Amino acid sequence: MDSVKRWISGFNENAVLASGFEDAFIGICYRYNNYPVAAYDKERCIEVLIEDFRYMQDMHEEEFEQELYGKAVEYFDSTILKNYTGNNKPVFLTSYPDKEDC
């Protein structure tokens, strides 16, 4: 995290990083008339939350995968996005799928 913070401070020393989502960090995002901000892959953030929920609930069986995914998406939408709004706050990206996936 420290190396990411040092790196991004070269673009925006006030950029806020999303705590706990280091594995989902993908770079910076530029916006007109604003400083660059940290960018995260939304699906990777969901994966991080799933692993956190699995650990907290000790859920390892496949039948819980759908339930964990739903909980992670709900938490991300209602809590993570809500807490990271405003200037210098990170953005969360959903990548366009490969043409083969469409």
> 90 with 39: CB under 8 angstroms?
yes
Structurally, the chain folds into a number of domains equal to 1
Give the Cα-Cα-Cα angle 89, 49, 76 (nearest 5 degrees): 50
Give pLDDT, residue 60.
57
Which ranges of the chain have pLDDT less than 70? 1, 55-63, 99, 101-102
Query: What count of Cα atoms within 13 Å lies in the side-chain half-sphere of residue 62?
Result: 0
Containing structural domain, residue 79: 2-12+21-101
What lies within 8 Å, CB to CB, of 47 at 6+ separation is 23, 24, 72
Contact by Cβ (8 Å): 34, 12? no
Total-model pTM: 0.84
